[in-house]
Structures are given as C-alpha cells and as structure tokens.
A and B are shown apart, each in its own frame.
Chain A
Amino acid sequence: MREMITMVLVLSVMSLASGGLLSFLNNNYKESIEINELDFVKGPAIKSIFDGSTNNPIADRFKIMDGDIERTFFVGKFNGKANTVALEGVGKGYGGEFGIIFAVNVEEDKIVGVEVTTHSETPGFGANAKDDPTFVAQFKGLSAVGPFKISNDGGQINAMSGATITSKAVCDATSEAGQTYTQLKPQLEEKLKEFVQ
C-alpha cells in the first residue's frame, strides 16, 4: 500500500512539474514562435501576394473571432488605401493538411491572389501547386464568394494534370477562405477603417 502511494505521488508530482514548466515556456515563447512562423513559412507567400503594397502586411495584422476560432488577417495598402486583406485557408490534400493564403480586394470582392504556404504533396505532381504559379493564377480576379471547383466537377478552375486531389484541395481551401471572408466582412470593414489615416 505504501509503495503504491509513493508511486502515484512521484508520478503526479513529476507530471505536475513538467506541465508547469512547459506551460510557462509556451506562454513565454508563444509570440516569438508565431512571428518566426509568419516570417519563414507564410512570409514569402504573403509578400508575393502583396507585391507592390506600401506597408508591411505581416506587421499590420489583426485577429477576429469567428465563433470559437481566432482568425488572423493581413492588411495590404495599395495607393494609400488599406483595401486588401489576406487570410488563411486549409484543405485536405493528397499528402495531408494543405494551407493557402487568400487575398481579397475588399472594395470589389475580387481575389487578388492565392498562394500555397504549407503542404506535403508529391514532388513533381501535387507540389506543383506551390512551385508552378500558373495553377493558382487562375483564381486571380474571380469573385471572392466562391465556391470554387475544378472543371471536372463543373467548376471554373482547370486541374493540374496528375494532381486532381491536390487541385481539389486548393479549391476547397480557397472556398473555405472565401466563405470566412464573406461571413466576417462587416467586422473586417470596421477594422480596416483603423488603418486609413
């Protein structure tokens, strides 16, 4: 009996100490980890979408609660007007989770660009979604409302050859981002006013 109590006690105390230490670290480093992820993983995609903007879209970001989910928006200023926002979308690709950045012109509700951020698709096939810009360029100028589908499903996007599943994943992720955008547009416009000076 004594032995049992010691075992339970030792294990509990150790788990408690470990949990405490880790949550302290998490609190401490959460922000810098987020910044690093933005800089190294999503940064290049965001910068390429906002090519020609007069501000730094990564620094000018804000969060809006969408139900229980916190969404991050990036703001781009063109010709002195903060009229472009970007948000993330996720889909399920051939090799797992698939992340995109989706940028919309708020005044016209038109897509400014779509870029792939994180993926684990097959090199030479699905990975072309990121490596070959002609596929994602098809989204440019379309209405942001969606939904987007590949032409086989009666949609407006030509799928990449040999990578139908990835093409669908990009469409799904973009549709999801488009939906979120449409839903949150009133709050978004409210927030964007703060950026006009």
Chain B
Amino acid sequence: MAKSITQEFAKGLWEEIPPFRLVLGLCPVLGVTTTMENGIGMGLATTFVLLCSNILVSVLRNVIPSKVRIACFIIIIATFVIVVEQLMQAYASIYPLYLKLGVFIPLIVVNCIVLGRAEAFAFKNSIARSMADGLGIGIGFTLSLSALGAVREIIGNGTLTLYEKPLFNIVSFVPSFQPFEFMVKPPGAFVALGLMLCIMNVIGKK
C-alpha cells in the first residue's frame, strides 16, 4: 500500500527512527553523543545532507544508469557533506561546534543512513515523497542523537548545557549527586545505546 506524504514523513519519527529502529549509522551515534549540543549539531548536519541528497537523487533517478548508481550517490552525498563542512567553518557562530564535532562531519559521507535512504527510497520514489522521507528520517536522527546525548550528559556530568548556557543542573534536585563519568566515555556510549534500544523495544512490543 502506498503511503501518503505525511506518513512517509512521520515514519522517520517513530516507526523507522534511526538509530533505534533503523539500526544504521552507529559510528557518529556512539562518537558524538557526549553532550546534547553535539548530538543536535550532528543531527542537523546529517539532516541537511540527507534532505539534499534525497531530493537530488530523486530528481536524477531517471538519468542515472543503475549500474553506476552507487558512484553517483557518493558524488552527490560527498558534495553536500563538503558544503556543510565549509558552511560550518565559515560562520563564527557555529565554528566552535565544528571544532567539537571535528572529523565526524566529513564522516557523514560514509553514514549508512544517507546512502541507505538514497538507494532504498529516493532512487525509486517521487521528489515530494523523497523530501518527506529525508526530512523525517533526519529529524528522527536528530531527536535520538540529542536524547542519547542528553542522557549521557546528565548522568556523566550532571549538567545540561546548550550554547554555553546551563539549562539544567542535577545537583539542585539531588544534592548528593556524583558525576558517573563512565557514561561520557566511549564504553558508556554502548551501554546507553543498548539501554535505549531495550526501552524502545519494550515500548514497541505493546
């Protein structure tokens, strides 16, 4: 059954939300989610690339010969990734975020979600549907990255900061709180991701 455009958009937010339902692109998920801010930044950068590449792949889907489609997808994706990288470096307001995300921005090129959506969806669907799909999956990715980042930051640091402004400090609620530093270290990323996957599966079972 063909889905409506709204359904294509909404599926990225729950039904196929990456990386919990669509378990792809785990490298940036584990790497950058030490704070909520990093999660949001990475998510938005990926959303931009995903949206633009989905649109362009869909526009060109009748022109691209299927034998060289992967090479064409990579050209499109890599171009948009460099665009994001240059833009992030060019504006002083997001440059500090670029310094924190560092190598993970160029690595969006090899993010399976982007290539996966181009191959599995945009190459076979109309422009409007591909746009809805890219936007939905991208926003879903941003939400899960920032949720994971927020959980790790709160447990690991006891605070939540956005743009150098403290939003939340756990010490004001639980005065005896001691930061559980393990959560902001790489092994903590696996544990946090595993627990989130587990919770998502429990909720989804109903």
Contact = CB atoms under 8 A, between A and B. Distances in A.
A and B are partners in one complex rather than unrelated chains? yes
Nearest to A41: B99
Interface stretch (B17-25, B42-50, B64-72, B148-156): B64-72
* Interface residue SS majority, chain B: helix
Interface in A17-36: 18, 21-22, 25-26, 29, 32-33, 35-36
Nearest to A19: B79
A11 B78 CA distance: 14
B75 A32 contact: no
Interface residues of B, number: 22
Interface in B9-49: none
Contacts of B99: 40-41
Contact of B89 (A3, A11, A22, A29): A29
B90 A32 contact: yes
Contact of B75 (A7, A14, A39, A40): A14
Given A36-B95, A40-B99, A10 B65 contact: yes
A7 B87 CA distance: 31
* Interface residue SS majority, chain A: helix
Contacts of B64: 10
A128 to B, nearest CB: 21
Question: What interface size band does chain A fall in?
Answer: 20 to 34
B109 to A, nearest CB: 12
A39 B89 contact: no
B82 interface: yes
Given A3-B67, A6-B65, A40-B96, A14 B76 contact: yes
B202 interface: no
A15 B83 CA distance: 15
Interface of A: 3, 6-7, 10-11, 14-15, 18, 21-22, 25-26, 29, 32-33, 35-37, 39-41
**Shortest 9 CB-CB distances between A and B: which pairs?**
A29-B90, A18-B79, A33-B89, A32-B90, A36-B95, A7-B65, A7-B68, A14-B75, A25-B86
